[in-house]
Amino acid sequence: MTTNTLLEETERELRALATELTEPADGECLLCYLDRMLDQFGCTTELRWATRYRDLRAPRATALVRRLGQVGGCDCEVFINGYQLAREHWIPPRRYVEDGITYETDPQRPDPMPSCRGVRRGSTRGCSLWVRGTGSSWDVW
């Protein structure tokens, strides 16, 4: 095997792996996909994952970038300014006493996240795990 052939084969395998890792799951909603991609790969300060989702699952949703751009200019701002996990899925604050002083923990997102509730193919909506509102955990309490 020549060096060029080995490089080409390696590049082909890397592209296939990248595609597999970043492919929306069957029935996965846009918001669960964004949450999963942000958790695994972070934000690139653009609507990278939202655009990938649209291109692969809802190519006719031509207004998606404009619509999401109204709540944020990048994937993570969709959650900061636009959507949050519904209250019933958060781990509630916990009160505890230490040295006679009562403290309360912040609400926590579940780890792992609940499974996506699913959407029809071609939809760019979130599933029932998500609600419209800002992404701060304080807003759910």
- Domain coordinates in residue numbering, the chain: 24-140
Which DSSP helix (H) or strand (E) runs through 132? strand 130-132
pLDDT at position 140 = 54
pTM of the model: 0.85
Local mean pLDDT, 10-residue blocks, the chain (141 residues): 85 89 96 97 96 96 94 93 94 95 95 96 95 64 52
Structure tokens at 83: 């959507």
pLDDT at position 138 = 47
Q: Which of 93, 113, 112, 115 is nearest to 104 (CA)?
A: 93
Specify the residue for token string 């949450």.
35
Which DSSP helix (H) or strand (E) runs through 85? strand 83-85
